[in-house]
Structure 1
Amino acid sequence: MLVVLLDEFTSVKGKDVSINEEAANELLLHYKCVMRVKEGKGKPVLSAALQRLILEELFRLISEYSFQSKFENQQQSPLSHEHSQPQQEVDQQEVDQQDPETSPRLSPIPEAYTIKVDDNILEAEIATSMKVLCDLVKQLSESRKGTDDITNLTPINIRQQVFAALGTRGFCNDKHPFIDQLTDAILKTAGKYRQFKSKEKQTESHERAAKIAKEIALLYFRLLAQEPVPEFTEFFEAGTPLQNNIMEGTWDDYEIHDLEVEICSFPLVSIKDKDNSRKVLYKGVVLTRQNNINPA
Structure 2
Amino acid sequence: MEPDDNIQSNHNESDKYLEMNSHNTSETELSSTTREIPVTSSDDYSVSNDENFKLPILKTKVEEETNSIQYFQKNWVDYNKYKNLQDELESQKKQVQELNQKLDESDKKLQNYKNCEESLNTKIKEIQKELDTKNEDINELKKNNATLKEEASKYQSALGVAANFRTSDENHSVQLKKDILSLQDTIESYVTNLKGNIEVNVENIENLLQRYGCLTKITKENQNRPFIKAVLQRYVLDTIIENANDYFDHPNHPKDIGISLESKILSRTNYLCLLLDTFCETRKGTDTITPITSIKIRQEAYVALGNRGFSEIVENDQTIEHNFIDNVKNILNKSLNEYRTINDSAKKQSVENMATNIIRDVIRLFWFRLLAQEPIITISWFEPNTRIDPNTMTGRWEDREEDIDNLVVDLCYFPIIGLNLDDPSKRKLYTRAKVFPRYQSYISRLVKSVVESSVK
TM bucket by the smaller chain?
Answer: 0.7 to 0.9
For 1:148 and 1:216, the matched residues in 2 are separated by 38
Give the 5 Å matches for 1:142-291.
142-173=281-312, 175-220=321-366, 221-232=368-379, 234-252=380-398, 253-272=401-420, 277-291=426-440
| Segment drifting more, 219-228 vs 274-283 | 274-283
Q: CA deviation at 1:216?
A: 0.7
Q: CA deviation at 1:167?
A: 0.8
Please give the per-residue CA displacement for 1:53-101, whole angstroms capped at 9, x wherever unaligned.
221232233244345422669xxxxxxxxxxxxxxxxxxxxxxxxxxxx
Name the structure 2 match of 1:22. 203
For 1:119 and 1:50, the matched residues in 2 are separated by 32
For 1:45 and 1:294, the matched residues in 2 are separated by 24
1:8 aligned to 2:147? Answer: no
Q: SS of the counterpart of 1:237?
A: coil
Q: CA deviation at 1:222?
A: 0.5
Name the structure 1 match of 2:62. none
1:60 aligned to 2:206? Answer: no
1:41 aligned to 2:180? Answer: no
Please give the per-residue CA displacement for 1:120-154, whole angstroms capped at 9, x wherever unaligned.
33322221221232233233224433233422321
Q: CA deviation at 1:34?
A: 1.6
For 1:214 and 1:259, the matched residues in 2 are separated by 35
| Contact 1:54 1:189 survives alignment (8 Å) | no
Name the structure 1 match of 2:251. 69
Q: CA deviation at 1:243?
A: 0.7
| Contact 1:68 1:128 survives alignment (8 Å) | no
Q: CA deviation at 1:172?
A: 2.7
Q: SS of the counterpart of 2:259?
A: helix
For 2:325 and 2:362, the matched residues in 1 are separated by 10
| Contact 1:223 1:229 survives alignment (8 Å) | yes
Name the structure 2 match of 1:97. none
Name the structure 1 match of 2:259. 120
For 2:218, the aligned partner's letter is R
For 1:56 and 1:25, the matched residues in 2 are separated by 17
For 1:71 and 1:50, the matched residues in 2 are separated by 31
For 1:203, the aligned partner's letter is Q
Identity of aligned residues (%): 31
| Contact 1:236 1:261 survives alignment (8 Å) | yes
Q: CA deviation at 1:275?
A: 5.5
Residues 1:273 and 1:267: Cα distance change in structure 2 (over 3 Å): closer
Q: CA deviation at 1:267?
A: 0.7
Who wins on radius of gyration, i.e. which is larger?
Answer: 2
Q: CA deviation at 1:2?
A: 0.9
Residues 1:194 and 1:142: Cα distance change in structure 2 (over 3 Å): same
For 1:169 and 1:292, the matched residues in 2 are separated by 48
Q: CA deviation at 1:176?
A: 1.4
For 2:387, the aligned partner's letter is P
Name the structure 1 match of 2:77. none
Q: CA deviation at 1:182?
A: 2.6
For 1:124 and 1:294, the matched residues in 2 are separated by 48
Residues 1:283 and 1:47: Cα distance change in structure 2 (over 3 Å): same
Q: SS of the counterpart of 2:274?
A: helix
| Contact 1:237 1:263 survives alignment (8 Å) | yes
Gaps of 5+ in 1: 74-116
Residues 1:259 and 1:36: Cα distance change in structure 2 (over 3 Å): same
| Contact 1:24 1:37 survives alignment (8 Å) | no
For 1:294 and 1:3, the matched residues in 2 are separated by 35
Residues 1:131 and 1:214: Cα distance change in structure 2 (over 3 Å): same
Name the structure 1 match of 2:233. 51
Q: Greater helix share, 1 or 2?
A: 2
| Contact 2:202 2:219 survives alignment (8 Å) | yes
For 1:149 and 1:38, the matched residues in 2 are separated by 64
Gaps of 5+ in 2: 1-181, 313-319, 445-456
| Contact 1:36 1:42 survives alignment (8 Å) | yes
Aligned residues: 251
Residues 1:269 and 1:37: Cα distance change in structure 2 (over 3 Å): farther
Please give the per-residue CA displacement for 1:237-296, whole angstroms capped at 9, x wherever unaligned.
23221111100123233332232223221111121179563211110011222222689x
Please give the per-residue CA displacement for 1:139-196, whole angstroms capped at 9, x wherever unaligned.
3224433233422321122111111111112223251112112312322331232222
Please give the per-residue CA displacement for 1:204-223, whole angstroms capped at 9, x wherever unaligned.
22112112111112212101
